[in-house]
Amino acid sequence: MLKIKKILFLFYLLCGASAGAQDFSAIQKIADRRFPWLKNKIIIKKIPLENHKDVFILQTENNRLKISASSVSAASRGLDWYVKYYAHQSISHLGNNVKNLDQLPVINTPVKKKSFITYRYALNYCTINYSYSFYTWEDWEKELDWMALNGVNIMLAPVGTELIWYNTLIHIGYTDAEARAFIAGPAYTAWWLMGNLDGWGGPVSIKLVQQQADLQRKILKRMSELGIEPILQGFYGMVPQSLKEKIPTAKLIDQGKWVAFRRPIILDPTTDTFARIADIYYNEIKKLYGDRVHYFGGEPFHEGGSTGGINIKKAAEDIQSAMLKNYPNSTWVLQGWQNNPSNELLSGLNKENTLIIELFGENTNNWEKRKTYNGTDFIWSNVSNFGDKSGLYGKLQRFIDEPFRIKDSEFSKNLKGVGIIPEGIYNNPVAYDLMLDLAWYETKPDLNIWLKHYTEYRYGKYNQFIFEAWKEFAQTIYSSPNVNQEGPSESIYCARPSLEIESVSSWGTRTRNYDQQRFKKAVQLFLRADREFMNSETYFTDKVDFLRQVLANKGQETYDDLLKSINEKNPQKIKQAGNKFLQMIIMQDQLTGNSRYFTLNRWLKQACDFGKSLADDTENILYNAKSQITFWGPENSPETPLRDYAHKEWNGLLGSLYFQRWKLFIDDAIKGQITAPETFYQMEVKWAKKKEMYPAVNSKSSELSELQNKIMK
C-alpha cells in the first residue's frame, strides 16, 4: 500500500499539479512545429483520471479537433493518435510523413482511449550515446516532441551530469584538471555513468561541460512543460580511483575491469564519507537543476564489479536513504538486466520508493522468474537494438503478448508501465511505435490490424502491396522465434575480416532466424508500390532499408564462397570471389548513400555542429564520433571485445574502412597469407583519427533503379 505522500505525488504526476503541467499550450506548440495544418485548430479540455489512469477523448467539430485529456501527456498522445489514425500522418526517427490539410478528418462519435498502466517509459543509458551523443537543442526539441506525441511520461535524462560531478569533485579538493580527467568524452558518458569506465574519450573542456549543463536546463524545462518526468543520475558510490589520495580514510572497493577498461572505484555506501559526498552531490543537482526531481537512476555493481564483502542490504538502504534525505519521496529506478538488481540489494530497499525497468523483455521473463523482483513495482520494456547497429529486427508479436500476459497474471499489481529501452533509436520505427501504442489498449490488439493502421500512417494511405508485404515481414524478419538474440542479425560487410566470423560484434550474431527467401519476396511486394509512393520520404527510407537488408543477407553466401576458395588455396578463385564480395560492399555503399539516415556524414556533421563553439574540443569530438563506431576503445588494446560493437552499415563507412579491411584481407589471401587482427586494429585507430567527413552522393534515378534490380536478382 502506497503512503499518502506517494499517492499525492502520483496524483501530481498524472493530473499535472505543477504550473507547467496544467498548461496545455505546450501541446499547441508541438502541433505548430510538427503539424502546421493543425495551427489554431485544436481545443484541449482537462478531464479527471479514470481509476488513477490517463485518458483522452477525441472529437471534431466545425473543423476543429477537440481533445479532452487527464494530463498534458495524455493530451499529446491524443494529438498523435488523431494525426496517425485519422489523418494518416506521422513523424519518426527514420523519416516523416506530413502534409498540409485544409479540412480536418472528421470524428463524429467521440473516441476514447485509456492507458491501462501508469508509466510509459523511454530510453537506455546507451541511447544517450549511440543515438544522442552530439545532440544540440534543435535535436532535443524534436526528440522530446516525438516522446510526448508517443505518450512517454517518464524518461531517462542524464545529460548535464558532467557539471554535477565536476562541482562535486572541486568541492572535495580536486583541481580543475583532475575533475575534468574523471569525465568521459561526449560519446562515452553512458558507460561512465554506469560505472564501467572513466575519462575515456576525454579530456573535455570546462566549456563543453557547461554547454551540456545549459542543454540539460532546456531539456528539463521542456520535459516539465510536456508532462514527462525526468530520471536524473543519483549518487550510488562511484568515485575516481584517485579518491584514495584525496581522502585516505575513505573505505573504497576496487571494481576491477569492465571488458578492457579499469572501472571507477566504489565508495562504501555504509560509511560517513559516502553520506557526506552524497549530500554534496545532491546539493549540486539542486543548484543546477532544481529540487523538483522525483526519480534517480544509477546503481553499484552494474555488469559485474566487486562487492568487497560489504553488507549489500545495508549499502542499498544507505544509498536510497541519501537520495530520500535530499529529495524526499523520490524513487530509485533500477535496471533489471542480467542478475541486476540482486536479491540482497532489493532486500535493503523501501519498495514504495523503488521502480525496476525490466530491460530485455523480448527475450527474458525475469519479472516471472523473480516474482516481480520480490514484489517490486516494475516497467516491462524491450531493448530490440544494441549499439544502434543497422538491421531490421523486433519481435512484434512478443511485444504484444508479454505485457498482456503480465496484465492477466498474478503479478499484474506490480506492472506499472511499458516502455522502450533501445541502445540506439535510429532504426526500426515500427518496434517503438507498437510498444508505446500498447499502453493505450485495454485488451490485446491483433498484430495484422495494427500493421494495417501503421502502414497507413507511415506512408500516408492504404496500399494492398505494402500491407501484404508488412504482414510477411511480421512472419519473417519481425517474427518472434524463441531464440535469445541481442538485436538484429549482423551484416558480414561490417565484420573485421577473418576465416571464422560468427558475429561482427562480440555479443551479436550472423544467424538469420527467419526464411530469407520469404523475406525477399515480401520486399518485392513492397517495391510494387514504387510508382505510387515515389515522393514519400518514409516509403523511400524503408525501401533503402529493406534493399540494404536483402543485400546484407546475400553477402553471407558470397562470404562462404570466399572462404571456400581460400581454404582451397586457389589464388584465381580467391580473386574472383573476393572481387564479387568487394563489389557488393560498393553496391551497399552506393545504396545507403541515397538516404541521409544511413550515412556516416549525418553522424559526423552532427558531431561538428555539437562542437562548433568548442574550439578546444573540436578534434576530440570528431575522434569520439569515429572511435565509438569502430574500435570503441581503449587505445593500445587490440584484443578489446568492444570493437565493432556499434558498427554501422552506412555509406562512407562501407566505402572506406570496411572496404579497405576486406580488400587487404583478400589481397593477403591471394598471396597465401592471413592478415593479423592487430593490423586491422591499427587501421581502425588510424581511420578514427582522420578528419574526413565522407559526404554522400545520391544516385541518379536510372542508377538507383539499376542498383535495385541487381540487389533483387
pLDDT digits (tens, 9 = 90+) for 40-81: 999 999 999 999 999 999 999 999 999 999 999 999 999 999
In this prediction, residue 22 carries a pLDDT of 58
In this structure, whether the domain defined by 492-711 belongs to CATH 1.10.3720.10 is answered with no
Please choose, from the candidates 603, 672, 696, 634, the residue with its C-alpha nearest in 3D space to the C-alpha of residue 202. 634
In this prediction, residue 20 carries a pLDDT of 39
- 12: pLDDT confidence band, cut at 50, 70 and 90? very low
- Whether the full predicted model's pTM is greater than 0.85, yes or no, is yes
Please choose, from the candidates 118, 117, 155, the residue with its C-alpha nearest in 3D space to the C-alpha of residue 404. 117
Which tens digit of pLDDT belongs to each residue from 117-129?
Answer: 999 999 999 999 9
Please choose, from the candidates 75, 154, 87, the residue with its C-alpha nearest in 3D space to the C-alpha of residue 418. 154
Is residue 3 predicted with pLDDT exceeding 50?
A: no
Which cell numbers in the block locate residue 65?
A: 479537433
Task: Read off the DSSP letter of residue 641.
Answer: T
Is residue 14 predicted with pLDDT exceeding 60?
A: no
What dihedral do alpha carbons 631, 635, 637, 641 form, nearest 10°?
A: -30
337 and 364 Cβ atoms separated by less than 8 Å: no
437 and 421 Cβ atoms separated by less than 8 Å: no
Order the strands of the 238-239 sheet from edge to edge.
238-239, 265-267, 252-253
- Region(s) of the chain under CATH 3.30.379.10: 4-114
195 and 255 Cβ atoms separated by less than 8 Å: yes
C-alpha distances out from residue 95 to 92, 104, 285, 542, 558, Å:
5, 23, 36, 9, 32
What dihedral do alpha carbons 184, 185, 187, 188 form, nearest 10°?
A: -10
Which tens digit of pLDDT belongs to each residue from 404-426?
Answer: 999 999 999 999 999 999 999 99
For 64-106, the three-class secondary structure string (H helix, E strand, C coil) is CEEEEECCHHHHHHHHHHHHHHCCCCECCCCCCECCCCCCCCC
Is residue 18 predicted with pLDDT exceeding 60?
A: no
| Strands 252-253 and 265-267, bridge-based pairing | antiparallel
Beta-bridge partner residues of 57: 68, 112
Q: Name the phi and psi angles at 196, rounded to 5.
A: -95, -25
Q: Which amino acid is at 602?
A: R
- What's the start-to-end Cα distance of the chain, in Å? 62
497 and 675 Cβ atoms separated by less than 8 Å: yes
Spell out the alpha helix ranges (H) of 238-299: 243-246, 272-289
In this prediction, residue 339 carries a pLDDT of 85
Query: Average pLDDT, stretch 472-497?
Result: 97
C-alpha distances out from residue 313 to 251, 307, 352, 692, Å:
17, 11, 16, 52
391 and 490 Cβ atoms separated by less than 8 Å: yes
Q: Provide the CA 398 distance to its chain's centre, in angstroms.
A: 19
Query: Average pLDDT, stretch 614-630?
Result: 98
Query: Average pLDDT, stretch 426-436?
Result: 98
H helices then E strands: how many in the chain? 28, 17
| Strands 261-262 and 111-114, bridge-based pairing | unpaired
529 CB-near residues (< 8 Å, 6+ apart): 459, 463, 465, 466, 539
- Region(s) of the chain under CATH 3.20.20.80: 119-442
Please choose, from the candidates 294, 333, 330, 329, the residue with its C-alpha nearest in 3D space to the C-alpha of residue 121. 333
Which tens digit of pLDDT belongs to each residue from 324-381?
Answer: 999 999 999 999 988 889 999 999 999 999 999 999 999 999 999 999 999 999 999 9
Burial class, 691, CB count within 10 angstroms (exposed 0-12 / middle 13-18 / buried 19+): exposed
Is residue 578 predicted with pLDDT exceeding 80?
A: yes
| Element at 656 (helix H, strand E) | none
Which tens digit of pLDDT belongs to each residue from 202-261?
Answer: 999 999 999 999 999 999 999 999 999 999 999 999 999 999 999 999 999 999 999 999
User: Any idea which fold 119-442 has?
Assistant: TIM Barrel (3.20.20)
Kindly report the length of the chain.
713
535 CB-near residues (< 8 Å, 6+ apart): none
Q: Which residue reads 479540455 in cell numbers?
A: 45
* Average pLDDT across the chain, whole number: 95
Which cell numbers in the block locate residue 317?
A: 538502504
Query: Average pLDDT, stretch 140-163?
Result: 98
Helix axes 137-149, 25-34, angle to 10 degrees: 110
User: Any idea which fold 4-114 has?
Assistant: Chitobiase; domain 2 (3.30.379)
In this prediction, residue 19 carries a pLDDT of 35
